[in-house]
């Protein structure tokens, strides 16, 4: 078979975006807050965090948590609200003209329910991981959603209810890379011709007593005791850990001709996706950044691009001493000298780390960076680190003309994902 016999890969575009974050749910509002240097990090309100050494988080405001009367985990409620906004942004209300069997859903989320804000509703049923059987049996007939409290696939099932999404359905759990891998798998499904439209991204909430305790014991969280807005300091020499966040970032992806046929507005084009595993240590990246570098290289190969064609990188940038140094090393390994010409920024400096949802909101912000031709800043970068020596857009946004960007996610267990996205230009 010669090259002419291979079908040309289908083009995949972004036509809708929706988010729920500590800085709000309106995309214009979130974007303005980022450019203005505002932070969503504050003292935790869901439970009394005063006894903990870490008392801060990037928490979604109560009015954005959503409530349809069901006993749903916060992640599910965030995802439902973000999906509603993305669906509307894509001008899909009513779903007219969609083939539901070629429209699917792939969501990254965690399997740990967070329900502290409804503790009165579940007292007597759930006590950590212990189940009060007698009370549970009495309640399960009245509240069948309790069956989904330990099942991450339930989030995808809940999100598909009420939408014409009857095709490909997947749930991705790859730690901090979950949403990026979900977007990547959705991109591949459309590119291969298995779907015409995919709802994808991630939703998560690990702001719970158990998770705050676990991440604190691992030494992963910032122990900063001053102004909460200063706690997340990616690439800064004095960084000491990430800030736990919550929220959702949902995108609508479509095959280009499918989007054109219904007159959809195209936000950006996804060109490539790469995934890899460090296979090194559960809580640490490979010290030479081999997995992260391989992931970025695979994404560039998928996009058919050379390293010199990258104009911007939305970094994983967690604010942990290890991650930021190794991500910097991996970027230099992939881009060579060009790395010093490419601006890199971390939204986690303002939104915290949304864990399984991080790649979703960061992909949305990468698209906005390309569309609006402004680079969001990396806040709190005051003390240069000789091992983090790239252009991290410190503290202030910057006008620019990026055409092609990478969005990186590197998770626990060495699970890596990178997306390549291009500013939409019809010509």
- Residues with active-site annotation: 176, 316, 353
Q: Which residues on neighbouring strands pair with residue 244, listed in sequence order? A: 353
Looking at residue 345, what DSSP letter applies?
E
C-alpha 18/C-alpha 23 separation (Å) is: 13
Task: Find out whether 13 and 268 touch, Cβ atoms under 8 Å.
Answer: yes
Give residue 17's region: left, alpha or beta (phi > 0; psi -120 to 50). beta
C-alpha 199/C-alpha 106 separation (Å) is: 6
C-alpha 98/C-alpha 222 separation (Å) is: 46
Three-class secondary structure of residue 118 per DSSP: helix
Question: How many other β-carbons are positioned within 10 Å of the β-carbon of residue 132?
Answer: 15
- 95 to each of 99, 105, 156, 165, how far by Cα in Å? 9, 14, 18, 10
Q: How many residues does the chain have?
A: 427
Those residues with Cβ within 8 angstroms of residue 378's Cβ, 6 or more apart along the chain or in another chain: 234, 235, 317, 344, 345, 346, 349, 392, 393, 394, 395
Task: Find out whether 366 and 344 touch, Cβ atoms under 8 Å.
Answer: no
Task: Find out whether 288 and 278 touch, Cβ atoms under 8 Å.
Answer: no
Q: Which residues on neighbouring strands pair with residue 253, listed in sequence order? A: 14, 198
């Amino acid at each position: 078979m010669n090259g002419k016999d291979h079908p040309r890969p289908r083009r995949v575009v972004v036509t809708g975006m929706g988010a729920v974050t500590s800085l709000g749910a309106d995309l214009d509002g979130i974007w303005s807050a980022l450019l203005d240097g505002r932070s969503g990090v504050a003292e935790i309100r869901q439970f009394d965090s005063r006894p903990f050494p870490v008392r801060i988080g990037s928490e979604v405001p109560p009015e954005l948590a959503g409530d349809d009367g069901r006993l749903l985990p916060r992640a599910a409620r965030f995802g439902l609200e973000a999906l509603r906004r993305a669906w509307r942004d894509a001008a899909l209300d009513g779903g007219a003209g969609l083939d539901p069997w070629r429209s699917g859903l792939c969501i990254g989320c965690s399997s740990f329910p967070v329900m502290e804000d409804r503790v009165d509703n579940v007292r007597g049923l759930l006590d950590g991981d212990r189940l009060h059987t007698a009370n549970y049996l009495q309640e399960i007939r009245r509240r069948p959603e309790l069956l989904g409290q330990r099942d991450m696939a339930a989030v995808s099932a809940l999100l598909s209810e009420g939408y014409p999404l009857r095709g490909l359905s997947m749930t991705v759990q790859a730690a901090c890379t979950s949403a990026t891998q979900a977007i990547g798998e959705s991109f591949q499904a459309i590119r291969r011709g298995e779907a015409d439209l995919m709802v994808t991204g991630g939703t998560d909430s690990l702001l719970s007593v158990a998770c705050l305790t676990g991440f604190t014991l691992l030494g992963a969280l910032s122990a900063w005791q001053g102004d909460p807005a200063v706690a997340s300091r990616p690439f800064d020499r004095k960084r000491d850990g990430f800030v736990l966040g919550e929220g959702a970032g949902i995108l609508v992806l479509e095959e280009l001709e499918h989007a054109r046929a219904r007159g959809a507005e195209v936000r950006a084009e996804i060109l490539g996706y790469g995934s890899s595993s460090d296979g090194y240590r559960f809580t640490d990246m490979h010290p030479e950044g081999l997995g992260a570098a391989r992931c970025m290289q695979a994404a560039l190969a998928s996009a058919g691009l050379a390293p010199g064609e990258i104009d911007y990188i939305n970094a994983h940038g967690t604010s942990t001493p290890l991650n930021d140094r190794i991500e910097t090393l991996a970027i230099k390994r992939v881009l060579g000298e060009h790395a010093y010409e490419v601006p890199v920024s971390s939204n986690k400096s303002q939104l915290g780390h949304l864990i399984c949802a991080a790649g979703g909101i960061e992909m949305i912000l990468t698209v906005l960076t390309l569309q609006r031709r402004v680079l969001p800043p990396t806040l709190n970068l005051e003390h240069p680190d000789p091992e983090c020596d790239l252009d991290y857009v410190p503290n202030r946004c910057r006008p620019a003309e990026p055409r092609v960007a990478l969005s990186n996610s590197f998770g626990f267990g060495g699970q890596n994902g990178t997306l390549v996205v291009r500013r939409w230009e019809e010509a």
